[in-house]
Every structure is written in C-alpha cells, then in structure tokens.
Structure 1
Amino acid sequence: MSHENGTHETNVKLFTSEFNQNPYPNFSKLRQEDPIHQTLMPNGHYSWIITRYEDAVAVLKDSRFIKDYTYLLGEEEQEEAHANSSIFVRNMLFSDPPDHKRLRGLVQKAFTPKMIEGLRGRVEEITNELLDRVQEKGQMNLIDDFAFPLPIIVICEMLGVPSQDRDKFRTWSNTLVEASNNPENAEQIQTHMTEFVMYLKQLCAERRQNPKDDMISKLIQSEEEGDSLSEQELYGVISLLIIAGHETTVNLITNGVFALLENPGQKEQLKNDPNLIESALEEFLRYNGPVEFSTDRWASNTVELRGKTIAKGDHVIVALDSANRDPEQFEDPDVFDITRGKSKHLAFGKGIHFCLGAPLARLEAEVAVTTLLRRMPELRLNTDPEALEWRPGILMRGLIELPVQF
C-alpha cells in the first residue's frame, strides 16, 4: 500500500464532524488544489479521493479499479480471505466480471422500469397511509414517520420479509453503514452482523419449506437450480437489496425535502407545478445526493491519473457529491435549481455498477414528495436548520432527523 507524501499539499480536514455538517467547501478546495487527493481514513488506512467530475467518471468506468480486493492476493491468501469474508460483500456491488454479471442478472428482472411502474399504486397507498397517521398532529419527524418507513415497507414487500421485522433492519443497516466511520464500535458491529445473518438464515429456511411469490423465494429457486447462486451469495444479495433498497431512498427523500424547505421559492414552484417533479428529483440527486462517496475500489495495476501515481493495491473512492458540484460540469453548482432539467449527475454511480434500484428510488421519491406537498402545502421546518445533525459514516449523506410542521 503506497502513500506518497502528497497528503500535505492541501490543508483539508475530512471526515470530522464539521466536515459531516457541510463537506462542500472542502470538496471545492480539493477540486481546485488537489483533485486526486490521498488521505488517512478513519479506519487508519490511506485512500485516494477523486473529487472532479471528469476523473470520477473515468475511475467509475475503468476496469483496472476493482471491487474485490482478494484478486490482489496469492492463491492461498485468496481462499482464506473468501472463507472469512462477510456475507455482506457477497453480492454484485462488491464483485467484478464475470461474477458481477451473474449476480446482477439474478435480480435485474425485478427492477426493470416496467416492473417498477407496476408498483406505483402500492407506493401511493403506503405514502397516503403514512401521512394519514400524522395528518391530525400537525407535525412529524420526516424520517421516522415517513421517509424511512416508505422504502423499507416497499422493499420488504418485494422480498417477502414480514412487516413486523422492519425496524430490526433499521438498526442493522445503520450499524453497517456507519461502521465505515467508527471502528471503535467493533463489538456492536459484530453483534448486529451476526443477528442479521441468523435472521436471513431463518427466513431462507422458512421460504425453502413454504415458497411464496416473492423475490426471496425466487432467489432460493435460483440457488437450488445449481451454479447461479451459492448460499453465501444468496444472503449477500438479499442483505444488499434490503440495505441499499431503503438507505439511499430515505436520504433522497429527506435531503430533497430539506433543500425545498431551505429554498421556499423552489418549494412553491414545485407545489404549483407538480410536473416539475422529474426535474426536481434530478436536482435533489445532484445538489445533495444520498450517497456521498462510492464504495471501495482497489487499483489492480499501477494507474497514472493527473500526474499522480496510484499504485497497485491502493484504495480509491470517488466523492460523488463533490463531482456533482463541479463547476466545469454544472453551471452555478452550489445553487439549488429544480428547473435545471436533465442532469449528468453521478448520484447513482456510472458504468457496470450503476445503481440497479435507481428506477425504484426515483418512483418512491417522486410519489413521496408530490403527495407530501399536495397534502401538506404549508410544510415547513420545525427547528433551526443549524441544529440539524448529519449522520456519521463515509458512505451515506443523510440527516439524523428532520422535524417538520404543517
């Protein structure tokens, strides 16, 4: 693992609580002064951070940056690493071709635009049920009461997870997402991971006995039919769908609504013209996207990028939220403008790992925000914006809570 002494070039403090609150000034500094920046991560390892749009696209599409670092190991080490790897990395997000294509192919059918559009009625039903519960109160915590339950109910129904177990997933997935930033909680992380795996094993065992018309049953069928899916991969794919299936959408809805509340003129515009929702969604994704950094990549060979040498084995992550505010790509990138229209943002990634659930996230956010503004036209913040706290962790960009009144 190489690290040059290039880390002192730019004095930027990343991953502090101040950075969490607002990373954008630091991103801007890095794009200007040191766009391929090497830094010490919270876990004690060095990593290259890519902050400009053009470089971000290049890295996300470059097959020399691999997702499964075990390919860098010798044969024996590789076997050992695979034997000890967590099920949470046995899925398409953390694999390279040809495994990637095989694993993604198994779930892709459920996420075609046509399949997703078929869920619209159910998403509208759930949205209205959630708002019915709080309508009389005149206030809510947008995350707990609305933005979290909506996507978790949808993905649990698609997979066939009993509704009474939904809250457990919140605990488990929060732990997994925040683990990246908080190595101190190793014991708690281990406990939650073990609970999650035990839960998945029981759920799959139950579905083997009593298959239903849901995605878990279909995945088990694929696994039983031979070489398409191992048992470990089965758990890996299900856990990815549960975690990715709600984490990103919670943040997409919340960050989007927060941006509207901070820009009342834009909120009024969208409320008066609901047809702007598609354009508004793209701006939510660009302006303060739900995924701040891409997942891990490693250089499989030495790569030269903008005069920097990224050595074989080096760890690389792309600052998606930084690329989405690159002034070379977007006019007035720090301005929130829902009429921007079609946008080449990288909120869902790029290349072969482009987010499989993008059509579902868009549908859920579209229905959620349109219905919210229609039913609660006087929606406003119920706290000082300065008092809001952003979640710790490197991967996701999301608030801990968002109190609103209507």
Structure 2
Amino acid sequence: MAQISLSELFSQKHNPYPFYAQLREQSPLTRFHWMGTDMWLLTSYDQAATILKDPRFTMDWQKVQPARAKRNSSDEAPSSYMPLAWSKHLLNTDPPDHTRLRTLVSKAFTPRMIEQLRPRIQQLMDGFLDAVQARGEMDLVADAAVPLPIAVISDLLGIPVEDRKLFRTWTQIIVQSQGAAPGQGASGLEAEKAFVRYIKTLITDKSAHPDDSLTSQLVQVEEKGDRLSEDELISMIFLLITAGHETTVNLIANGMLALLEYPDQMRLLRADSSLLPGAVEELLRYTSPVTLSGPRWALEDVPLHGQVIHKGDMVRYALLAANTDPQQFPDPDVVDILRRENQHVAFGKGIHFCLGAPLARVEGQIAIGTLLRRLPHLRLACDPQQLTWKEGGSLRNLVSLPVTF
C-alpha cells in the first residue's frame, strides 16, 4: 500500500475496522504524513506490543533532535509538533527521568485514592441523569460523557467549578489542532499558552494555600529530598487534565454506541452488573478511544517488515488496529463482553502504561452501569450512519450521540 494521508487515516472513524484490516494485511508498517513530517505507522498487535518495550525507541524527542534535523527537509523544530506543555511529563521521558517522575507522581496519584472516589463519581453521574431523565431524550455526549470526566478530574485537582468550561475549550482546540497542517496550528498554540498560564496560577495558589487536592499533593510530594520542578508540575497537571477527561469521554460515548449497536451484549450486561469490569475492557479494546499512540523515535536504524526505520524517524502505532488484530483476538471486529484473554493495548504497555487507567476504568464502569440501570429503554435516536465524528486529531470522538429513553 502506498503512503497514506492524514485524511485517509481519520476519515474512517465510524467504521474504521475494514480500513485498518486492509493496512494490517497489505502493509503492517506504513508511511504517512503528520503535521509536516513523514513517519511510520504500525498496525499489528505483535509489533505494537514489541515497540512499546523496545529500548531502540525513545519517547524523548530531545534524544534524536540532531538526527531528526538532518532527515527533515523542512526547518521545523520539534517544538512545532511537540507542545511545550508536554515536554516534562511521563509520556515524553525515558528512564531514569521517567522512573523518577513516576515514583513522585505515584505517591500522590494512588489506587486507594481512586477507589475512594467511587461514591463521588456515582453521585455526579446520578446528578447528570437527574437533570435529563424527565425529558426522555438527551445528547449522551454533552449531557453525560463530557461533564462526568471533567467534574471528576476538576474535583481531583481542585479546579473551581467556574473555570471548568475554560479548560474543556482549551483541550478541544489543542487536540483538534494536532492534525493541522504546518503553519495552521496557531489556535492550538494560543490555547496551550493560555492553559499553561492557568496551570501556573493554580500551582501558585495551591502552594500558598495547601488543601487536600491532587495539585497540592503534587506540589508537596517528596522522595529523598527530590521534588517536582515547576516545569514538571505544569506538564503533569496538563497531562492529567487532557488525558484525564478527553479519553474517558470517548470511552463512555463510544462504548455506549457500541452497546447500542450490539443489543444482545447490552441486554447481557444489563442483566448482570458483575460483568461490568470485563465489559469495560472489551469496550476499550473494541472502540480504542485514542486512535494513535504517542510518538516514539528510533535511536538507531531498525529493520522491520522488510523496511528500515532510520535513526531519528518517528513511529506511532494504531491502537484500534492493534486491538482488532485477528492474530491476537478471535472475532476481533465484534463486541463480546465475555471475551477472555483480553490483553488490549488501549492504555499502552510497559513502563509508559497509562497512570490514569484505574481512574478511567472506574469512571467507565460507573457511567455505563448507571446508564443501563436507570435507562432501561435506552436507544439511538438516529441512524448510526448519521452520527458525526470530529475531524483530525489522534482521538476517536463523537460530536454528539442523540438517544431516547
């Protein structure tokens, strides 16, 4: 298959399965164009799982900047495609920096803390449904999938209610601008700068007036005298806000769409709530809320699938393609909430496995479980082909999901 374009990659959002199956069969390692540069796209599960742990690839672009500059015909610096707010967090560092950051952040962002959020998450979800239940209809995206993760991560970080719409707007602009052509990402950069200014103010406030928020804990966390720098705090909070709600929005909305399109699975889940944890894992696999992995760069020439990934080349893998690889998952293009051996890569693998995965799982279980329990007659209010998906970006997000109940 020839080099694919960004429009091809992101124009298949409602039914991407045939497109990715074709890529896997014809060219599991494919060249494509992204934000002014060529890169490699992996589509097979085995290769994606391998590259996640391969020391020949780095997530720290600064390690390959000289090699990249030589191979890139344009004069673009990495900062043109790597936002400044992302420069010091867990997804863009390797050991030993990554180990240090993860140790510090994990002391504040604990599984026990996340489990303690369950009653609050349930209260929030019930409140959102209370507001619409009498209408008999809603936009599941705007009325449930979006507000729940925003409220949860805002509560967690100590962000005032009146500011929450601001960072939702900034995040949407930043995420959508990821697919912009060179010179067309100005709105994303401006949103990012505003976002960073806000986070700096938040950090200053929590430093002066400590409370029980995660932001305060991150400011104060210490390991053998080591603490997070201001740049590291900004990057970590930026990551927690963006990754902490955008991906969960897609898990809830895309997951519910999948259940509505597979009514037998929805009936099965509604009849037995103990299946919720496994169902959420299957929906993560099947819907893959994030379309593309974070970028990695080759530290040396790497032969793969009869081609050579040169030192300095960028590589990403298609999560949905890997998660629907028939070599790993029997009948991969159907939803099966009873599926066994579901080792999907929706949250990555290895040392860069998503730190927020436990929170996303809890939110998904509560949101989907509550929708099924409280809305027994839930159904789509339009033909699935009429649904609109957001253009560009590395996420797979619905614009809206009209339902009746």
Structure 1 residue 15 corresponds to structure 2 residue 7: yes
1:200-255 alpha-carbon deviations (Å, 9 max, x no partner): 12111222221111111122224899643221111111010011111111101111
Residues 11 and 232 of structure 1, relative CA distance in 2, 3 Å threshold: closer
State the alpha-carbon separation in 2 of the partners of residues 329 and 164 from structure 1.
46
How far off its partner does 1:81 sit?
Answer: 7.3
Question: AA paired with 1:59?
Answer: I
Residue matched to 1:46: 38
State the alpha-carbon separation in 2 of the partners of residues 342 and 120 from structure 1.
27
Residue matched to 1:130: 128
Structure 1 vs Structure 2: percent identity of aligned residues? Answer: 47
- SS state at 2:52 partner: helix
How far off its partner does 1:172 sit?
Answer: 0.9
- SS state at 1:316 partner: strand
Q: Is the 8 A contact 2:136 2:404 kept in 1?
A: yes
State the alpha-carbon separation in 2 of the partners of residues 141 and 92 from structure 1.
34
Q: Is the 8 A contact 1:111 1:360 kept in 2?
A: no
State the alpha-carbon separation in 2 of the partners of residues 73 and 249 from structure 1.
32
Residues 296 and 74 of structure 1, relative CA distance in 2, 3 Å threshold: closer
Structure 1 residue 272 corresponds to structure 2 residue 271: yes
State the alpha-carbon separation in 1 of the partners of residues 178 and 185 from structure 2.
11
State the alpha-carbon separation in 2 of the partners of residues 93 and 313 from structure 1.
18
State the alpha-carbon separation in 1 of the partners of residues 278 and 146 from structure 2.
23
State the alpha-carbon separation in 1 of the partners of residues 78 and 186 from structure 2.
21
State the alpha-carbon separation in 1 of the partners of residues 330 and 166 from structure 2.
42
1:88-131 alpha-carbon deviations (Å, 9 max, x no partner): 22211111111111112222234433222111111111111111
* 1:2-401 paired onto structure 2 within 5 Å: 9-10=1-2, 14-16=6-8, 18-41=11-34, 43-73=35-65, 86-183=84-181, 185-222=184-221, 227-401=226-400
Q: What is the total number of aligned residue pairs between the two structures?
A: 393
What residue ranges of structure 2 are gaps of 5+ in the alignment?
70-76
State the alpha-carbon separation in 2 of the partners of residues 342 and 169 from structure 1.
37
Question: AA paired with 1:380?
Answer: R
State the alpha-carbon separation in 1 of the partners of residues 128 and 224 from structure 2.
40
State the alpha-carbon separation in 2 of the partners of residues 377 and 85 from structure 1.
44
- SS state at 2:99 partner: helix
Residue matched to 1:3: none
Residues 112 and 200 of structure 1, relative CA distance in 2, 3 Å threshold: closer
- SS state at 2:231 partner: helix
Return 19-28 or 317-326, whichever deviates more.
Answer: 19-28
Residues 14 and 32 of structure 1, relative CA distance in 2, 3 Å threshold: farther
Residues 120 and 351 of structure 1, relative CA distance in 2, 3 Å threshold: same
Provide the TM-score with structure 1 as the length reference: 0.91
For the aligned residue pairs, the C-alpha RMSD in angstroms reads 2.2
- SS state at 2:403 partner: strand
Question: AA paired with 1:68?
Answer: D
Question: AA paired with 1:332?
Answer: D
Residues 350 and 95 of structure 1, relative CA distance in 2, 3 Å threshold: same
What residue ranges of structure 1 are gaps of 5+ in the alignment?
1-8
State the alpha-carbon separation in 1 of the partners of residues 65 and 330 from structure 2.
44
State the alpha-carbon separation in 1 of the partners of residues 254 and 83 from structure 2.
33
Provide the TM-score with structure 2 as the length reference: 0.92
Question: AA paired with 1:27?
Answer: Y
